[in-house]
Amino acid sequence: MKTARIILGGAALIVLSAPAVFAQSSTATTTDEKPQTIQQRKENQQDRIAKGVQSGQLTAGETKRLETKEAGLNKEEHTMRSEDDGHLTGADRAKLNNQQNHLSNQIYDDKHNAATQHDGPGEVGQRKENQQDRIAQGVKSGQLTPGETAKLEKQQQGINREERGMREANGGKLTGADKKALNQQQNRASRNIYNKKHNGRKQ
């Protein structure tokens, strides 16, 4: 009888202590996860921007602004490293992470607002969509730096603005001359995309 009581008591102790052990082990695994490095955060932001460009959630103007900010952060990081023999201090990392947090929020807001990239039907719309896909691929692969992407998207933004003006002047339609002019501009933009993706610079 005494032996049975001891066995039952031991079993109860094991059952009651199991949740605490499990909680400790699960806590240990979560605290062991390392925060993202500065480089990983940059790559993550670029992936999110690339997806937004590809899906049409980000307009050319929004992408230009986001990549201009990312280029500014990269320049600031470069300056910080040059002042500390290629290293970042704890204060540098905290500052860059804080700025990346702001940029992350901006990416989210721009991807979830009402503004979307409208490429429209026909050859003109197809070319715009094609250019955005090529830019998005360059961002994702690292072939385009944020500064290069900002310049390319500024060019696309200008073409979009010009197309809007043409349509407003012709009751929402494009004339043959309009289409020809837009295609010539997209030819120049296409060469710019190719040149920037193959110039050897990397994100």
Burial of 81 (0-12, 13-18, 19+ CB in 10 A): middle
Q: What is the pLDDT of residues 138-188, one digit of tens each?
A: 999 999 999 999 999 999 999 999 999 999 999 999 999 999 999 999 999
Average the pLDDT over 112-131 and give the result: 89
Residue 90 has pLDDT above 90, yes or no: yes
Sign of the CA dihedral with 38 first, then 43, 46, and 47 last = negative
pTM summary value: 0.75
Q: What is the pLDDT of residues 1-21, one digit of tens each?
A: 555 555 555 555 454 444 444
Which ranges in the chain belong to alpha helices (H)?
A: 2-32, 38-55, 60-83, 90-111, 122-141, 146-169, 176-197
Short-list 110, 92, 102, 84, CA closest to 37: 92
The overall longest dimension of the chain from CA atoms, in Å, is 102
Residue 101 has pLDDT above 60, yes or no: yes
Q: What angle do CA 122, 63, 158 make, to 5 degrees?
A: 55
